[in-house]
Amino acid sequence: MPELPELTAVRLVEGYRKGEFSPVDVARAALERAERTQPEVNAFVRIDAEAALGRARESEERWRRGEPAGAVDGVPVTVKDILLMRGGPTLKGSRTISPVGSWEEDAPSVARLREQGAVFLGKTTTPEFGWKGVTDSPLSGVTRNPYDLSRTAGGSSGGAAAAVALGAGPLALGTDGGGSVRIPAAFCGVFGLKPTYGRVPLYPASAFGTLAHVGPLTRDAADAALMLDVISGPDARDWSGLGPAPGSFVDALSGGVRGLRVAYSASLGGQVAVQPGVASAVRRAVEGLAGLGAYVSEADPDFCDPVEAFHTLWFGGAARVTQRLGARQLDSLDPGLREIRGVGARLSALDYLAAVDVRMDLGRRMGAFHERYDVLVTPALPVTTFEAGVEVPRGSGYRRWTGWTPFTYPFNLTQQPAASVPVGVDGGGLPVGLQVVAARHRDDLVLRVGHALFEAGVAGVASPRLQGVRCRVAGPVGPGLLGQGREVMG
C-alpha cells in the first residue's frame, strides 16, 4: 500500500470504514510530511499539530462507533490564509493585518468541512491579499515548487497546491480570482477546480468582487467532487451564493465522456504562444479524450484577450482592499501590489462599468459557444513553472502576471467552472496542466472530464521526491517536533 500521505481522501475514508488505518495515524503522517518539507518549500504559515491530533482522535472514536460525522470525517485538510478559520489569525500574507483578536469565525467552506469532521492541519501561504499568480509575500516569504525548489509553486493558492503535492493533506481549500487555484495546480501537478461563481459561498466578501471563487485543490477529480459536495450550498452570509446543487458531484463522476462535444483550443485562435512541451502534453491528453469516445473538434472561443477589462476590475479591487491603510502600512506592501493599487485608485466609475460591459459580452459569447460544445479544453498555462520570487518569467517581456496566464482569467470574468488537470510533464520533468471549462452551473461536466482522464491513466504525474520527504510514521509525533499552533512564517 502507498504511504499514508499519498492516499486520496476517497481512499482514506474507505480505509477508515474498513478499519485498515486510523485518522490519528493519518494525521500524524500528514503533519510529519508538512514539517519535514516546510523548511524547503514553505507551504504553511501555521501548522497546528495539537488541534489536528485532537480532531483526529475525535474522528477515530466516531469511526470506532460507526458514526462518522460526514463525508470527510478524519481527512486532513489545509486552508489558504485568505479564508477565516477560527482559532487563529487570518493574515492574508500581509503585515498590515494585526494577529490580535478572538478569531472565532469560520468562512462558510471551512465551517462545512468542520461540521463533517475534517482534520485541519493549518493555514497555507498566499501572496499579499492574493493579488498575483505566484506565492511570495512580505509576511511569509517565498513558497517553492515541490518539483524544483528554485521555481515557484504558482499562486495565489501556491501553499495549498504544494501541500497537496507533498502529501501534507489530500484536500486543500484555495481561492481563485484570476487563476489562483488553477495556476498552482498546473505548476505543482495536482487537480484544481474553480467552481461556478457562488457554488461555494464566500464570507467575508472579497474586495475583488465577483471575480473571486473558492475551490478545492486535490490529488484527483474524485477528491475534488467529494470536497465540493461538502463545501457547496447556500450560506446566509453570502448574498450572491447559489442555491443547493442539483445533485451529488460524486455521483455525477460516473457519466464518462462518451458522446461529449469537446472543443480543443490550443492557443485561443493564435493569441497565445505555448511552450512546445506544454502543447505536446495537452494534445496527448486531448487525444486520450477522443479515445474515450468524446467528439473532439479543434475550435476557438469567439473572444479577444479581455485583459484590460480584467485589469480594471482587478486593480480596482487592489485599491479597495488597501483603501484604509495609512502611509506607513502602504510602504510595507508588496511593491507590485502597491503599484497596481495606485492604478486602481485612479479609475473612475465609468472605467469600471466599461469593464463590466466587456465582461457581459464575454459571458454572452461563451454562452453561445457552449450551445455547440459541452466543454472547452485548453492548456491551463502556456508555460511551466519558472524562477521563484518573481512575478513574471525573467526575459519574458511581461509586465504583470496576467501576461503568462491568458487561459485562466477570462473564465473568472464569465464565472464559469474551470479546472486544471495534471497531464504529465514537459521535457524538463515539470508538471503540465490541461484546462477544462464548461458552461456556468455545469461543474459536473468539468469533474466528469477530469475523472475520466484520471481513470484512463491519462491524467496524473509522479509525486515529487524531495530529499528526506518520504517517511512512514512508526509512532506518535510529540509536541517537541511539531509544536503547538506553531507559526512557521519566514
Residue 391's SS3 state is coil
Query: What pLDDT is stored for residue 487 in this prediction?
Result: 56
DSSP letters along 278-309, please?
HHHHHHHHHHHHHHTT-EEEE---S----HHH
345 and 319 in contact (C-beta within 8 Å)? yes
pTM greater than the 0.75 cutoff: yes
Residue 103 has pLDDT above 70, yes or no: yes
Query: What pLDDT is stored for residue 483 in this prediction?
Result: 33
158 and 211 in contact (C-beta within 8 Å)? no
Which grid coordinates belong to 66?
460507526
Q: What value, to the nearest 5°, has the Cα angle with vertex 155 and ends 199 and 287?
A: 75
Region 89-100 average pLDDT: 97
Q: Give the whole-angstrom CA distance, residue 115 versus residue 106.
A: 11
Specify the higher pLDDT residue, 488 or 121: 121
Q: Which range among 73-87, 268-282, 471-485 shows the weakest confidence by mean pLDDT?
A: 471-485
Which grid coordinates belong to 114?
468542520
- Amino acid (1-letter code) at residue 122: G
Q: Give the whole-angstrom CA distance, residue 449 versus residue 451.
A: 5
Query: What pLDDT is stored for residue 112 in this prediction?
Result: 98
- Please list the residues that pair with 172 across neighbouring strands: 78, 217
pLDDT band at 472 (very low <50, low <70, confident <90, very high): very low
What's the number of domains the chain is made of? 1
Q: Give the whole-angstrom CA distance, residue 12 versus residue 25.
A: 11
Query: What pLDDT is stored for residue 465 in this prediction?
Result: 74
Digit-coded pLDDT (tens) for 364-401: 999 999 999 999 999 999 999 999 999 999 999 999 99
> Which residues does the annotation mark as catalytic?
80, 156, 180
Region 156-185 average pLDDT: 98
Residue 444 has pLDDT above 50, yes or no: yes
- Amino acid (1-letter code) at residue 134: V
Region 129-143 average pLDDT: 98
Residue labelled with grid coordinates 517565498: 142
Query: What pLDDT is stored for residue 66 in this prediction?
Result: 98
Residue 349 has pLDDT above 50, yes or no: yes
pLDDT band at 462 (very low <50, low <70, confident <90, very high): confident
Q: What is the CATH number of the domain that holds 404?
A: 3.90.1300.10
Residue 14 has pLDDT above 70, yes or no: yes
- Amino acid (1-letter code) at residue 246: P
Query: Residue 12's domain spans which residues?
Result: 4-487
Residue 474 has pLDDT above 60, yes or no: no
Residue 484 has pLDDT above 60, yes or no: no
Digit-coded pLDDT (tens) for 416-430: 999 999 999 999 999
177 and 408 in contact (C-beta within 8 Å)? no
Tell me the pLDDT of the chain averaged across its residues. 94
Residue 228 has pLDDT above 60, yes or no: yes
Q: Give the whole-angstrom CA distance, residue 153 versus residue 42.
A: 10
**CA neighbours closer than 13 Å in the CB half-sphere of residue 147:** 28
pLDDT band at 469 (very low <50, low <70, confident <90, very high): low
Q: Which range among 84-88, 270-274, 472-476 shows the weakest confidence by mean pLDDT?
A: 472-476
Digit-coded pLDDT (tens) for 311-329: 999 999 999 999 999 999 9
Query: What pLDDT is stored for residue 486 in this prediction?
Result: 53
Query: What pLDDT is stored for residue 2 in this prediction?
Result: 73
